[in-house]
Structure 1
Amino acid sequence: MSEVRLPLEAIKGRGAASRLAHRFESVARGAFDDGWGTLEQGEHAPPKTEVIWEDARSIITSNDSPDVYFDKSINPYRGCEHGCVYCYARPTHSYLNLSPGLDFETKIIAKRNIAPLLRKELGRKSYKPEMIAIGTATDCYQPVERELKLTRQVIELFRETNHPFSLVTKSSGVERDLDLIAPMAAQGLAAIYVTITTLDADLARRLEPRAAAPHRRLRLLKTLAEHGVPCGVSLAPQIPFLTDDMEQVLEAAWEAGARSAFYHVLRLPWEVAPLFKEWLQVHYPDRAERVMARVHDLRGGKDYDADFATRMKGQGIWAELLAQRFKKAVKRLGFNQERVELHSRDFRPPAECEGQGSLF
């Protein structure tokens, strides 16, 4: 009897096409056609989002990677409902015994004690304030933030203590918190960066199924600029033969009000590589081999190379071409003329941590 191979299918509203087994699992399971047509009859409905509460042991994370611009970060959530298939944070779900595929975008870990624990950390006598990046692994304004408001709690505390922060997002949800962010930006305490991978709405819907549409992110940049918030655009990741509109994205972002820009090339660590290859076969089978061949050109013949010197920009002639295109477009438009400097000179510890008791 010949083996029955099931065709890969896109799952509506999700980036991954399967619950890919993580690298620590000893047994892998998959859907099987038993001949009764159950797969086609819709018994396997699109998975819903589930929030799993976590009592975190710490909130502020230190970073010592030389190719990353921040030294400290905060991630209110683990996993991300945006479902970006290329997300380099997907493999972190493996440590939770969850799939980097569908579980990463449907099982969201939320740190319910984020505000009181962060207050305690900021109040330590040994604490030295410096800029903190929010949502560096997963988007701090993903859809569940609308109800949970964990990111808002963090920003409220930063507002109270005059603590500088920045964040990168694909969500228009950040507009909700402009009542906190705009006054902080005026004091040199906040900067916002918006990721726009491509202006192609159809491609964006497949790449980042639950993130804001490209035109909505441009409108977000305009809103931020109108409120006096320093804002920039992230063109990450650059994917060969897919996101080939770098110059157009930069032009649109400049017109919307962004004044800084940066990019990274596609990163495929651990389980992200098979997930991305699966995604290519689902959505762009005609160019899957070409895309991966160019990725290998950027990575010295491999799916990925974690070397700090090359992991963000790649290596070889195609990496140099991307760098030249970016440099020329940025110079022509006027990006990155002035560096945004966020300061911590006005920081004050949280009130409870200064020994001030309540009057009541």
Structure 2
Amino acid sequence: MKNPFTIGIAKEEKFCDRKEEIRNLKNFIQNGQNVVIYSPRRFGKTSLVKMVLKELEKKDKNFIGIYADLFPVSSYQDFIEIFSKAIIQSIGKEVDKSFFQKIKNLFKNIVPSFTVKPDGSFSISISINPSTSLETLLSDLFTGLEKYVKKNDLKACIVLDEFQEITTLKESKKIEGLLRNFIQEQEDISYIFVGSRRKLLVDMFTDKKRPFYKSSFLYPLKKIEKSEFVKCIISSFKRTEKVCSKSTAEEIYDLVDGYPYYVQKLSSIIWDLTDKKVTEKIVENALKTLIKMESIDFESIWINLNKSEKIVLKMITIYPEISPFSKEFLEKSKLSIGGIQKAISSLIKKDLIEKEDNLYLLTDPVMKHWIRGIF
């Protein structure tokens, strides 16, 4: 039997709970409101927004969902290419005569070309004249999309995943300003801005000096409720003729602090190791395997931290109940208050730690296991 757990985009029966979030996002979109969704990486944001778009498209034939992943952007040309491809792919799910008619003259300065695959799907290439200005390209993209939506009496929602990545571009300030101007003029198109580098993303919408200030609803994505996730774990094992008790499912959840990606991945490893019934020993071995799998990523992060950041991260992991600004923390770390403050600020920007109830915790629960294992 196929492993029922997923570490990719969760679909259909592999999608667990999020009923309230789905309902809220649908309401935002149907009311034409823009939303900022943020959480640690691999928290299920992409699965959630894709599920919402799919359900709305299924319910309303005059609705189109457009999803663009901006994580790879390294230039404004990349942004234009990714965004325009996403629009074209959403307009035509299949290549046929009507599709080519739909996109004819969609853009003036952005020229698409297609390669049709044997299964009916297609790949898109985008040509842009290097001399065309950023302003012209963005105007072309937004004007073309808006005209198409109005002409066909449609409602649309555009998801810009890892939206904060545009801040890494040298033209970022100009892009932010232009995007805000175009977006606020559109009537039938709503936007969902998604990101996992939370401070970077939230600052874009809460800093009074930034163009997107107070332009969207802030929507932090929380963990899936323990009771709901436990039900999903148990039912997934049962569906594949294996047994996982409620107490064991709760332990799986707790071992990774309910972190959605890790709950799925740990459950997946446990499923592979289980013949008929999950045991304590299987869970223990699976956790060791998970830590080992993730260690390459953690080692890469650790190597790129400076000495103070490593000390603070280690201290927060080993002594989570001690305030970083207490006398005890200072004595144990042998760092100055200034050094600790600087390290904490940097670790927050890197999304490695977060503040909760006046204490600082590691964002990644498996990295916490890894650090404890090496010290």
Shorter-normalised TM range: 0.3 to 0.5
TM-score by length of 2: 0.31
TM-score by length of 1: 0.32
Higher-helix-fraction structure:
2
Asked which structure has the greater CA Rg, the reply is 2
